[in-house]
Structures are given as structure tokens and as C-alpha cells.
Amino acid sequence: MTAVLTEASSSKLNLLGLTHEKMIQFLETLGEKSFRAAQIMKWIHLGGVDNFQDMSNISKSLRDKLTEVAEIGVPEVTYKEFSKDGTRKWVLKLDQDNSIETVFIPTDGRGTLCVSSQVGCVLDCSFCSTGKQGFRRNLTAAEIVAQVWVANKSFGARENRGDHAITNIVMMGMGEPLLNFDNVVDAMHIMKDDVGYGISKRRLTLSTSGIVPEIDRLGDVIDVSLAVSLHAPNDELRNQLVPVNKKYPLAQLLAACNRYLDRYESARRRITMEYVMIDGVNDKPEHAQQLAKLLKQVPSKINLIPFNPFPGSNYRRSSEERVLWFQNYLYKQGYTTTVRSTRGDDIDAACGQLVGKVDDLTKRNQRWREKLVLTQIQNDSNDQSLS
Ligand code: SAH
Ligand code: SF4
């Protein structure tokens, strides 16, 4: 039975969010040897265990001690749906007022989990529904890791997972990860760790709108892949789309990208530049030309993201023809350019669009019920939280 986080249980230390180093420190305070840390982490993250009594290679006395002072606290999953195309989505209830969404999207032999770092976002990019909600709060490291724990567990025992495993994790859900720095870094250490989720640095990506000093700090403490939400090839347009550009304009941002690459040159050769394609706004031939010129400064690959419309937004998605033209142009200029698949649209779950639509769950709940092929959590308390 999953230990659901409640205010009453929050006095216990939640081991889900402890890095290997912190787990060792914690066990030392209990007078335990450091090798126990790896054993416990394997049970939690690889084994999907949330009850200390299930940890069979741990002594009964330590299991009892852990039960007394600690917990493996996973937020309640108030909704889950598995779409026909393999996309999976979870809504996790963090507390009375806040929920988040996590999405798994499979693509040719890969399984990418899109993880949230904050409830809402303070940065207010003009095309982003998370930004339109305003900022609610940072997620704890445990709440970030819980998203991976829940997704991982949904695939069952490791030997039965086949192709359906999480191979990649992107910090591209709700929120700006670099504005929740310490918790995100701890969570990413756990995602990378062999006794955590074992995701390699090339397959673990942090996406940022471009908080320049924090990009430098990130390079100091962890080696992961970096994606930058560029979205515009000049400062004037970027100021409109990504307002934080007024504080950290393109020249500063691109210089920070180069510094980041220089630190771990052998491991990470390019920055992924994300570029949302908005009809008539940033998708004209002149924008493609400017972009190709601008990115000569930084080793880059480009990911074009067709804009995902949401209620209240006046933007429209660029036509498929225009997206392909853009891709072809950048390709000819020597850039690896991918177009993000819009799979997941069928459950409102395109990555990067994880929204506080959870506030409007009743209506969506009905829609989902009509469309789904999948599993739904059915118990009274969940029904209450959805109505
Ligand atoms: N705050 C971080 C990470 C979360 S957003 C960042 O901005 O990078 C993840 C990605 O989805 C970003 O590239 C973001 O710009 C993009 N995105 C946000 N809203 C979108 C929308 N409506 N359509 C398409 N992409 C969107
Ligand atoms: Fe925040 Fe990223 Fe959305 Fe901008 S795109 S408002 S930084 S979540």
C-alpha cells in the first residue's frame, strides 16, 4: 500500500528524495553502515518498494527503526490513463491545493518521461499555459522523483518490461527547473544513479528558458544534457515570447551555453535548442535565416515544437508545410533538426504542455472517459478529488 503523503505523515523523513550521499548521511545518524544506503535505494527506486518491511535483506531491527522515523512517501495518483499509442499520463496530488501531471511518451525504441519541477511558473512565456497559471510552489526532491517512481512502477517487474521502459527523462513538464535548483539537482542525481534509475547523462535533459547564472551553477554540480527554450532568433521577438530574455538576452544566453559545453566537452557536444512553431509569429523564412546565423555561435541541434493550442491563447500552430520548410532549411544549413511529434495529443498530454488544467478535471474527466482504452483508478476517495 503506497504511503500517501499527508500533512500528518510529513514529520517523517521522505527517503524518496535523498541522493545516495544524503542517504548515507541519514543512515549514519542511525548508526548504520554506508553500504545500507545502496541496498535501500535499490529497493525504493529499482524495486518500486514503498514499505520498509518488504526490504528482505535489511535486518528486522533496522526495518522497524526506518518505519518509525522515515517514509517512502509517494503522492496520491488521482488519475492515470494509458493511451492507444503508448503514451501514459498521471495526475499526482501533492497536497490539498496542488496537483501536477507527468507524461510518458514512447518513440521508436525510446521511452521518454516528461517530469515537472514546479506547480505553475513565474516566467509567463506568452505561448505557455503553465506560465498563464502563475507560480504556486516548488516541488520537493521527493515529489520530483515520485513522478519517475510512479511511471517506472507502472511498467511492472523489470524483466517483463521489454521495450516499455523509461530510457530518457526530460525536465520539460510544468515549471522552470533552474528556479527550483537544489531540489531538481538532487532529483537528477537520483535519476542518474545506478542505485536510482540509471539514466545516462546523455538521456537526462534539463530544459530551461535561459536563467544564465543558474546554467553556470548547474555545470558546477551535475553533468546532464541541456535544452534551451530559444523560440526566437532575435532579442526583440524573444522579449515578447520569453520575457526572461529582457534580463538575460541572447548574447548572454548563448555565451552561457558555450561555457556549459566547455565543462564536459567529451560527453556533451551540443545544446538542444527548442523552437516552438507559432503561425505568423516566429515561423517566417527570415526567422529561419536569422536562426541559422545565430546558432553558428553554439554547437546546437534544433527541436521544432509545433505550438500546442490551449484555451485562452490567441496563437495558432504553424502549418505542417511551414514546419517542414523550416526543418528543411535548417537541415540544409547543416543543423540536425527534429520535429517534436505531437503524439499524446489524444490525451491532452503533449510534453511541455502539462498544465494546471488539473483544476478543471471534471470536464476533462468526462472527455477522457469517452476516449480511453485504459486503466482508471476507481475508488471513492479519488472520485471525490475529481469531482
Ligand atoms: N520551463 C522550462 C521547461 C518546461 S517547458 C522551459 O521553458 O524550457 C518545456 C518546453 O515546452 C519548453 O521548450 C517550452 O517552451 C515548451 N512549451 C511550452 N508551452 C508550449 C506550447 N503551448 N506549445 C508548444 N510548446 C510549448
Ligand atoms: Fe515557465 Fe517554461 Fe512555460 Fe516559460 S515555457 S512559462 S519558463 S514553464
Lowest mean pLDDT among 64-73, 274-283, 341-350: 341-350
Helix, strand, or coil (residue 210): coil
Give mean pLDDT, residues 338-350. 59
Give mean pLDDT, residues 91-120. 91
Helix (H) or strand (E) holding 119: strand 118-120
Percent of the chain residues past pLDDT 70, beyond the cut: 82
Q: What is the predicted pLDDT for the residue at 332?
A: 97
Structural domains of the chain ordered from first start = 3-73 (1.10.150.530), 75-369 (3.20.20.70)
Rounded Cα distance between 122 and 94, Å, is 19
Helix, strand, or coil (residue 174): coil
Q: What is the predicted pLDDT for the residue at 204?
A: 96
Residue whose CA is at the smallest distance from ligand 1 atom 24: 307
DSSP state of 366: H
* Residues whose CB is less than 8 angstroms from the CB of residue 317 and which lie 6 or more positions away in sequence, other chains included: 277, 278, 279, 306, 307, 308, 309
pTM above 0.85, yes or no: yes
> 128 CB less than 6 Å from ligand 2?
yes
Place of cell 523560440: 231
* Residues whose CB is less than 8 angstroms from the CB of residue 207 and which lie 6 or more positions away in sequence, other chains included: 170, 171, 172, 177, 227, 228, 229, 272, 274, 352
Best substitution site from 305, 307, 314, 339 to test ligand 1's pocket, by max atoms within 8 Å of Cβ? 305
Helix (H) or strand (E) holding 322: helix 320-332
pLDDT at 40 over 60: yes
> 272 CB less than 6 Å from ligand 1?
no
Q: Beta-carbon neighbour count of residue 370 at 10 Å?
A: 6
For residue 211, how many C-alpha atoms fall within 13 Å in the half-sphere facing its CB? 16
Q: What is the mean pLDDT of the chain?
A: 86
Vertex 331: Cα angle to 325 and 334 (nearest 5): 150
φ, ψ at 338 (rounded to 5°): -110, 160
Q: 104 has which bridge partners? A: 88, 113
Residue 132 CA: nearest ligand 2 atom is 6
Rounded Cα distance between 338 and 326, Å, is 10
Vertex 138: Cα angle to 50 and 197 (nearest 5): 40
Is residue 351 annotated as a catalytic residue, yes or no? yes
Say which residue, 70 or 156, is predicted with more confidence: 70
Q: What is the predicted pLDDT for the residue at 311?
A: 85
> 130 CB less than 6 Å from ligand 2?
yes
Residue 121 CA: nearest ligand 2 atom is 1
Rounded Cα distance between 181 and 62, Å, is 32
Rounded Cα distance between 171 and 184, Å, is 9
Q: What is the predicted pLDDT for the residue at 369?
A: 33
Which pLDDT band, with edges at 50, 70 and 90, does 353 fall under?
A: low
**How do strand 73-74 and strand 300-306 relate by DSSP bridges?**
unpaired
Sign of the torsion formed by the C-alpha atoms of 29, 30, 35 and 40: negative
- 92: cell is 499526482
Q: 207 has which bridge partners? A: 227
> Exposed, middle or buried, 63 (CB in 10 Å: 0-12/13-18/19+)?
middle
> 215 CB less than 6 Å from ligand 1?
no
pLDDT at 347 over 70: no
Best substitution site from 172, 179, 303 to test ligand 1's pocket, by max atoms within 8 Å of Cβ? 172
Q: What is the predicted pLDDT for the residue at 378?
A: 28
